[in-house]
């Protein structure tokens, strides 16, 4: 099977794992939204072997890559990737302990974030984690020049894409019962955003 590799995933997987390790439960099923190449879920599943992992992606080439990585690494705690578009609710999963969404919100229309929050609010148990990672605008923090340029390039590719205001994302999450636990500044002007189901 064709395995893809993303340089950004290789750079950020360890910093993300440092945030996830104390934030996730020891047992349960973790859904990854928009798994891309599959390198994140493989890395996390290797390090956090007590958890079951469900990768997903609406792109068939991405699902092929994910399946290739699962086969190559021989991990028994990673399920086969599923075709999941956040807009198509309810999602074809159940009994989730946590949801990860890395680098999707800025590369999708705002309706995808709305669907993500609504379904996470419906699916997660009390105390369940929704973990977000990516670049955001923040009202009290000057936007890095590299992120301004990135935002412009995204909007040029697709007018519905672009960096989101963190405060607006957190407000939308709260409407679905997901409360901001903390944000963590990450390398390359990204943020980890940890939301908990009330």
Check residue 64 and give its pLDDT: 97
CB atoms within 10 A of CB 155: 14
* Residue 1 placed within a domain: no
* Residue 2 placed within a domain: no
Read off the tokens for 150.
Answer: 């990135």
Q: Per-residue pLDDT averaged across 145-171, rounded? A: 96
The band of 1, judged by pLDDT with boundaries at 50, 70 and 90, is low
Query: What's the predicted TM-score (pTM) here?
Result: 0.97
Q: Which domain holds residue 22?
A: 7-197
Distance CA 24, CA 192 (A): 14
* Residue 186 placed within a domain: yes
Each residue's pLDDT tens digit, 47-103: 999 999 999 999 999 999 999 999 999 999 999 999 999 999 999 999 999 999 999
**DSSP calls for 51-64:** SEEEEB-S-HHHHH
Structural domain count of the chain: 1
Cα Dmax for the chain: 46
Each residue's pLDDT tens digit, 102-137: 999 999 999 999 999 999 999 999 999 999 999 999
Read off the tokens for 31.
Answer: 């859904």
Residue 174, helix vs strand vs coil: helix
* Residue 43 placed within a domain: yes
Q: Nearest 5 degrees, angle CA 155-CA 157-CA 163? A: 35
CATH number at residue 170: 3.40.50.150
């Amino acid at each position: 099977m064709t395995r893809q590799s993303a340089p950004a995933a290789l750079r950020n997987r360890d910093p993300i794992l440092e945030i996830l390790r104390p934030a996730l439960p020891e047992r349960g099923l973790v859904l990854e939204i928009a798994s891309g190449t599959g390198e994140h879920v493989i890395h996390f599943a290797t390090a956090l072997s007590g958890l079951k992992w469900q990768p997903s992606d609406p792109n068939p080439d991405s699902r092929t890559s994910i399946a290739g990585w699962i086969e190559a690494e021989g991990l028994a705690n990673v399920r086969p990737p599923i075709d999941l578009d956040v807009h198509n609710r309810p999602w074809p999963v159940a009994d989730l302990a946590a949801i990860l969404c890395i680098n999707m919100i800025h590369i999708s229309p705002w309706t995808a974030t709305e669907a993500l929050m609504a379904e996470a609010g419906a699916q997660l148990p009390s105390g369940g984690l929704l973990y977000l990672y990516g670049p955001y605008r923040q009202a009290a923090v000057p936007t890095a020049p590299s992120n301004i340029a990135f935002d412009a390039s995204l909007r040029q590719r697709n007018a519905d894409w672009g960096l989101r205001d963190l405060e607006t994302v957190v407000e939308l999450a709260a409407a679905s019962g997901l409360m901001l636990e903390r944000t963590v500044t990450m390398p390359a002007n990204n943020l980890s955003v940890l939301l908990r189901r009330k």
